[in-house]
């Protein structure tokens, strides 16, 4: 058993508490990882607010981490102690019907099919003050050591800087992949990105890499516009600056609506606006933002009947164990610069400060270091 620090969420709506926790050794098919760095993602904020489905408290949040394998359980063959790895909030078991489908990046072991509050054997590896602490998405990267099923761990290049590539565990990969994999943005096309936090800016980077000619960033926080333009946005607009609905503004700017729109906020009204802002016949709208659990959307069926495509994406459509290591290699080859998303670096002891920066819209990505 290893004793180490972890940021524990004891109850909904309460600040995280940095505690000493005990982390049990890995069982068969499991890997114990020393987390070196972890990003703060909006999904962790949804968890603390109580709007993320199927989460039990107390829990150790965090799912955008990178670390080094400390030990492995019986039967683990794909990683060994000392390997650099990225824990995967979307597993790839390699055996279910979804994993075997080349068109799918979903896995039936994902939290949308079965809860990931406990490891697959329905027990926890975390205790604190004599109490069982739950896992989050099996990865719980706000702990200095964490235990994860082997099929939720990807071995990456030994040269990768863990304090930078941790973003590839969720935020960057999700946004970049939404443009490249889910929308399949074509060269010369027009795009609109609703919400330009860390994931939205990654969508902008993906649209630029795909050769889009116009990339319109939409956000109510104009402080983010300079960064959006640095990363590839050609126009930045705020709904607050117009009397008419933003979908009408975008349609007027582009003639018949954009070719591709992306909703990266997770609000029902902006999801509808994003759908309405893309071309009524050939437009593709991709849902990237996570709505609060239980949200409902009502739309005019004509929005889709005329030919638009409306789709969602999980983690940017990447088959995680296969693709995240390749993305890390692309990062090392300087094919993209996800470092530009990191605005703050803090020690784990200041985790709550990191969440305050997120809530105030002052950070894009805060990376926590152990």
pLDDT in tens, the chain (370 residues): 999 999 999 999 999 999 999 999 999 999 999 999 999 999 999 999 988 888 999 999 999 999 999 999 999 999 999 999 999 999 999 999 999 999 999 999 999 898 899 999 999 999 999 999 999 999 999 999 999 999 999 999 999 999 999 999 999 999 999 999 999 999 999 999 999 999 999 999 999 999 999 999 999 999 999 999 999 999 999 999 999 999 999 999 999 999 999 999 999 999 999 999 999 999 999 999 988 878 899 999 999 999 999 999 999 999 999 999 999 999 999 999 999 999 999 999 999 999 999 999 899 999 999 9
Reading the block at residue 122, the tokens are 């329905």
**Phi, psi (5° rounding) for residue 44?**
-65, -35
Residues 6+ apart with CB under 8 A from 208: 215, 231, 232
Whole-number Å distance between alpha carbons of 360 and 230: 22
If you search the block for the tokens 């009502």, which residue do you land on?
A: 298
Q: Which fold has domain 183-312?
A: Rossmann fold (3.40.50)
What are the distances in angstroms from CA 51 to CA 161, 252, 305? Answer: 32, 36, 32
pLDDT (tens digit, 9 = 90+) per residue, 41-69? 999 999 999 888 889 999 999 999 999 99
Nearest in space to 282 (alpha carbons), one of 254, 256, 250, 302: 256
**89 by DSSP, 3-state: which?**
coil
How many of the other CB atoms lie within 10 Å of CB of 76? 18
Burial class (CB in 10 A: 0-12, 13-18, 19+), 369: middle
In this predicted structure, what is the pLDDT of residue 318?
Answer: 98
Per-residue DSSP letter, 26:
P
Whole-number Å distance between alpha carbons of 337 and 342: 10
How many of the other CB atoms lie within 10 Å of CB of 114? 11
Handedness of CA 267, 286, 98, 208 (dihedral sign): negative
Q: Which fold has domain 2-172+317-369?
A: Quinone Oxidoreductase; Chain A, domain 1 (3.90.180)
pLDDT (tens digit, 9 = 90+) per residue, 145-167? 999 999 999 999 999 999 999 99
- H-helix or E-strand containing 218? strand 214-218
In this predicted structure, what is the pLDDT of residue 314?
Answer: 96
Where are the chain's structural domains? Answer: 2-172+317-369, 183-312
- What is the residue-wise DSSP string for 305-339? HTS-EEEE-SGGG--HHHHHHHHHHHHHTTSS-GG
Residues 6+ apart with CB under 8 A from 17: 7, 8, 9, 10
């Amino acid at each position: 058993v290893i004793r180490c620090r972890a940021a524990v969420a004891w109850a909904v709506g309460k600040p995280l508490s940095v505690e000493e926790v005990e982390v049990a050794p890995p069982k068969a098919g499991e890997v114990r990882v020393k987390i070196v760095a972890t990003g703060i993602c909006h999904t962790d904020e949804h968890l603390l607010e109580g709007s993320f489905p199927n989460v039990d408290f107390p829990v150790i949040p965090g799912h955008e981490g990178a670390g080094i394998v400390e030990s492995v359980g019986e039967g683990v063959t794909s990683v060994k102690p000392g390997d650099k790895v990225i824990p995967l909030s979307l597993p790839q078991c390699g055996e279910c019907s979804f994993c075997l489908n080349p068109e799918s990046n979903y896995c039936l072991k994902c939290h949308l099919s079965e809860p990931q509050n406990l490891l697959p054997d329905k027990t926890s590896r975390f205790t604190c003050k004599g109490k069982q602490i739950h896992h989050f998405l099996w990865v719980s990267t706000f702990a200095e050591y964490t235990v994860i099923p082997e099929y939720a761990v990807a071995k990456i290049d030994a040269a990768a800087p863990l304090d930078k590539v941790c973003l590839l565990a969720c935020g960057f990969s999700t946004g970049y992949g939404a443009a490249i994999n889910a929308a399949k943005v074509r060269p010369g096309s027009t795009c609109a990105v609703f919400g330009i936090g860390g994931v939205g800016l990654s969508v902008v980077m993906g649209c630029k890499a795909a050769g889009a000619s116009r990339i319109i960033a939409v956000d109510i926080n104009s402080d983010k516009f300079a960064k959006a333009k640095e990363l590839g946005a050609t126009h930045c607009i705020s709904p607050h600056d117009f009397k008419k609905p933003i979908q009408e503004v975008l349609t007027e700017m582009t003639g018949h609506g954009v070719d591709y729109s992306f909703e990266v906020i997770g609000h029902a009204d902006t999801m509808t606006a994003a759908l309405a802002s893309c071309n009524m016949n050939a437009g593709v709208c991709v849902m990237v933002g996570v709505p609060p659990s239980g949200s409902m959307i009502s739309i005019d069926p004509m929005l889709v009947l005329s030919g638009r495509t409306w789709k969602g994406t999980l983690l940017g459509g990447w088959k995680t164990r296969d693709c995240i290591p390749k993305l890390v290699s692309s990062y090392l080859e300087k094919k993209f610069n996800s470092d530009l998303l990191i605005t703050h670096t803090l020690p784990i002891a200041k985790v709550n400060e990191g969440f305050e920066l997120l809530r105030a819209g002052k950070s894009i990505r805060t990376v926590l270091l152990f």
